[in-house]
Copies of this chain bind each other. A is one copy, B any other.
């Protein structure tokens, strides 16, 4: 029997007033969620906090103590409201200063005369951090301990996540099987579904309605790490839907 692989967990911390005001709609949580699922890391929590140092520090310390990794997005640009690097340094109790490696990366993009004081702020990195490369706009993210600090602009965050991913420990990938319940309403299969779920405790079974064109359409998703157990649950669910579609009474 194979030794089960370690479970690797993560949280995302989105930093930015603009998300909480509704001005900017976050697209990073969904992207990171899918990315981590695909490489075998279980995203367990996400939080959005404002550009307020004590809020960022408190959330970081709560999350980094609890999960294998914490991914932050936002707040590492050149303006006064970009305070993530300072907040991370404070959370870890380390100093922060201009990092010569970060400055060297930025000089690939900027002429020395264009390195304004504001831009140099982006080279301020907590002491002890590893840099996370940014092929798009060069100013790097960083990793300190189990915290990976990335930009908020989605395209830049995405290349930083690619840069950081190779150094991440990963666990067994989750397998997800989606079953189209079609027009069968959740309320007709809810009880039977609960019975199938109870009989297959080693997989997670979810039912996801979407309301489209005035009608609910449902999908049932089976998730787990063991292909045989997923197949068994799927067979039970297919049988359940077949009974329903054969016109049996609601289950």
Q: Is the CB of A211 within 8 A of B34?
A: no
Q: Assuming A30-B25, A81-B207, A207-B77, is B20 touching A116 (CB within 8 A)? A: no
> Is A245 part of the contact surface with B, judged by Cβ < 8 Å?
no
Q: Is the CB of A121 within 8 A of B29?
A: no
Shortest A53–chain B CB gap in Å is 14
Please tell me the size bucket of the interface on A.
35 or more
Residue among A18, A121, A223 with most chain B CB within 10 A: A18
A207 to B118, CA, bound (A): 12
Q: Is the CB of A77 within 8 A of B116?
A: no
Chain B residues with Cβ under 8 A from A208's Cβ? 18, 23-24
Taken together, the copies of this chain in the complex come to 2
Q: Which of B50, B153, B186 meets A209, CB within 8 Å?
A: B153
Q: Is the CB of B43 within 8 A of A46?
A: no
Q: Is the CB of B46 within 8 A of A206?
A: no
> Is A148 part of the contact surface with B, judged by Cβ < 8 Å?
no
Interface residues of A in 128-155 (CB under 8 A from B): 136-137, 153-155
> Is A166 part of the contact surface with B, judged by Cβ < 8 Å?
no
Q: Is the CB of B35 within 8 A of A188?
A: no
Q: Is the CB of A22 within 8 A of B43?
A: yes
A231 to B48, CA, bound (A): 29
A214 to B79, CA, bound (A): 21
Chain B residues with Cβ under 8 A from A24's Cβ? 208
Q: Which 4 A-B pairs have the closest CB atoms?
A: A118-B190, A22-B34, A22-B33, A80-B194
19 further A-B contacts with Cβ under 8 Å, apart from A21-B174, A26-B29, are A14-B46, A19-B29, A20-B43, A22-B30, A22-B37, A25-B27, A45-B48, A45-B55, A77-B186, A78-B187, A80-B190, A116-B187, A116-B188, A116-B251, A118-B186, A118-B190, A137-B216, A153-B209, A153-B211
